Structure 1
């Protein structure tokens, strides 16, 4: 099974995403100590908009008897911009390693929350921080540079690829990506206790060779403390949970679950499920699908909201939103994620639970050998093989280092050639 022919990283426009998944053990081990540099020296000619060939240098080490080491990063191309600053692809001149550097203007009076959070996280489905250092310009502006691993594609770019060729994303990739999204969310929610607060296809990176997914951009992320108020104007509009639209300030990590549900629906549909063009219209788009929220649901979203003047609209049946051949388990998962009441949404841990893994393999397939299925129905055999690819990927490749095509080759050799064993024994 060949990897997807994906193009270069695309800048963020309207979002997109996918879902339907399985499970595996979460990696909750404490992250290894990352050597971070707080050196403010850098080449003076590098400003806030790095151009190809410009170099930023920093010194690491020098503590506890460690030798000092200079690392120089040459900017190659801009891969993202925003109010936060700029993200560019760079190459370390000493190691030839390609990295992504997020460069943000730093207020000297405050610590950078994104840096503090990234220092606490280490997981296969979360972007990793390699170094950090400060640089300054001739105007005495101070910039924080977060040096991260480089992943060449985003889920938005993958969705745009399928849209450009007028195709829907194959369900096997929807399942594979969704599983990893939930695995990453389950880690940040239950490990460091972080709420991402801006989950969308542009902030979900995909390696086009291994199909490993990594959550990125923790610029809006925060550790939520019960009883502590937070801003409600957060999260990109298409993926914004309804409690945020209702002005809730004491929300939970369930706002990420809503965003994940929107991403899943987009992966299945090929376009955003709730494409609102304003905050008010966003709620209208949600009501079109879920129906008018009840008083109890509004109370669950924001107890302080007292306006209840909404037209009574019935919920649209979920099975009518998706095409007829959509697997019922994919529709069921989407409906469990997109609930008005935050406490009724399934958790990220449940989304990455072993209970879902059996749904990847048809019931009849668990009772027959692969060769029996091959002899009766070739198309069913191929569907089974695709399901097994995901299962092998999840159980034997939690870190995501084995390309999907290698998984397929392994399974073909083991089952198609030898024709031994039952599916449930894998």
Structure 2
């Protein structure tokens, strides 16, 4: 984290090592204080039977993508666990900061990575299909899920298991084609899925102009998924 210096990424103030009675070594991080998370803030609105104001959804999404554009393109890091709990926010200024880089990694082309990564509701389909050579596009899928959750007041894809997560995605996006599955993971050989048509985005999220932005992130074909710079600009 000492490599990261950005207004939308939580700052590392200090670090130190400590040991337990069993002689286990622990790394302790001292981070800047940010009072709230986007998750807790959204739950507060839900308790009042309200949704996060649209202006805040746009503002938070912009700031997430500013941070991702920085770590993806300037530092070369994939966060791999973008979710509302890992997005801190100052409720007074609405400045947002991404935190928890415990799953973050520099992705090197040609080198395999673990596919069982990222919290389930926000896990990109290529990870569910077992891909090990994925890209920073998995963070943009997660961002689309976060944005949709803020607008809906609940997770868009609330799967109860890895397989059920894929079912929830198919309910909205429709059944992926063989070509899409091969693009996500060339080594995947099981193609037996029920044929389900995609659900129109304007019926999923009834807010003018935003469905096309979310659908640009939540697309199975990684090559056409929006990048962080698209949102940032």
Question: Which protein shows a greater Rg?
Answer: 1
| Cα shift readout 1:350-378 (whole Å, capped 9, x = no counterpart) | 1101xxxxxxxxxxxxxxxxxxxxxxxxx
The match for 1:348 is 228
Consecutive unaligned residues of structure 2, counting only runs of 5 or more, are none
- Within-5 A mapping of 1:213-224: 213-224=96-107
In 1, distance between residues paired with 2:199 and 2:160? 21
- Within-5 A mapping of 1:200-279: 200-279=83-162
SS in 2 for 1:273: coil
Q: CA deviation at 1:239?
A: 0.2
Which of the residues 165, 169, 173 maps onto 1:282?
165
The match for 1:358 is none
Q: CA deviation at 1:142?
A: 1.9
Q: CA deviation at 1:138?
A: 3.5
In 1, distance between residues paired with 2:133 and 2:190? 18
The match for 1:327 is 208
Q: Does 1:135 align with 2:18?
A: yes
SS in 2 for 1:282: helix
SS in 1 for 2:16: strand
In 1, distance between residues paired with 2:83 and 2:58? 17
Q: CA deviation at 1:140?
A: 2.4
Q: Does 1:154 align with 2:34?
A: no
- Within-5 A mapping of 1:60-209: 118-209=1-92
Q: Which moved more, 1:239-248 or 1:126-135?
A: 126-135
Consecutive unaligned residues of structure 1, counting only runs of 5 or more, are 1-117, 354-426
Q: CA deviation at 1:139?
A: 3.3
Q: CA deviation at 1:120?
A: 0.7
Q: CA deviation at 1:137?
A: 3.1
| Cα shift readout 1:200-259 (whole Å, capped 9, x = no counterpart) | 000000011111000000000000000000000000000000000000000000000100
In 2, distance between residues paired with 1:137 and 1:294? 52
Normalised to the residue count of structure 2, the TM-score between the two structures is 0.98
In 1, distance between residues paired with 2:191 and 2:21? 55
Normalised to the residue count of structure 1, the TM-score between the two structures is 0.54
SS in 1 for 2:80: coil
In 2, distance between residues paired with 1:304 and 1:138? 46
The match for 1:383 is none
Runs of 4+ that moved beyond 3 A: none
Give aligned pairs, total.
Answer: 233
Q: Does 1:309 align with 2:189?
A: no
In 2, distance between residues paired with 1:309 and 1:135? 51
